[in-house]
Structure 1
Amino acid sequence: YKQRVREMTRRSGGRSLEQVIDKLKAYMPGWKGYFQLAQTPTEFRELDEWLRHRLRTLHLKQWKRGRSMYRELKALGVSGTDATRIASNARRWWRNGYGVLNRALPIAYFDRLGVPRLA
């Protein structure tokens, strides 16, 4: 699952977030249906968290520069201090994908975009 999702959510693919989500919509329901009977709700929840973290880093990578990150984060309602902290570490996508970005791009944001869930 992770290897396949890594291929679909590469940060160097040159695709929009909507295109990536469309690919996930095609893949994830089938995978979930196959493993649906597994007694591992914790694993499914952790895979969901990991996927949203991948999508957050993809979002940061698409904003590219610190100025763009700062502007977009401010538009999402992040405080100036937190937006500056993320924008100043613009090339550390995976690290910036936690913490403040979880509040800026919550689960509800990805639900509105139509990202399927496993859990």
Structure 2
Amino acid sequence: MQTDIDPRNLIGRKAFDRNGAKIGTIDEVYLDDATGAPEWAAIRTGLFSRDAFVPLEPSELVKDGSLRVPFDRSLIKDAPDFGVGRHLSPEQELQLYRHYGLDLAPPPPPPDVDFGHTANSSDA
């Protein structure tokens, strides 16, 4: 999905599964802690239903302004329920990635790490 979109513009948009079945309406957007890019959307699946979290990375905005999520509606509705309005912990995100069968990229190495050399090493 475009990472330059303002997450506030996603709220209120309709979301559809990969077959075109309506999932619901986007309630909230969760940003990646490290990059600030939109990472997850909480979709209200009905008037008295809970919100289902969907990953934004394999999803796409279509011309009519809706979000197309490349998963079946049943898988989306069965996603772990963490409630909305709170921060997603790394463990909760991991559960969601596993639920959707998505790979997690390994975290980047810490900045300014010189592998193979130590600060006090001497060439003898």
TM-score normalized by the length of structure 2: 0.30
Max radius of gyration: which structure?
2
Task: Give the structure with the higher percent strand.
Answer: 2
* Structure having greater relative contact order (Cα 8 Å, sep ≥ 6): 1
Task: Give the structure with the higher percent helix.
Answer: 1
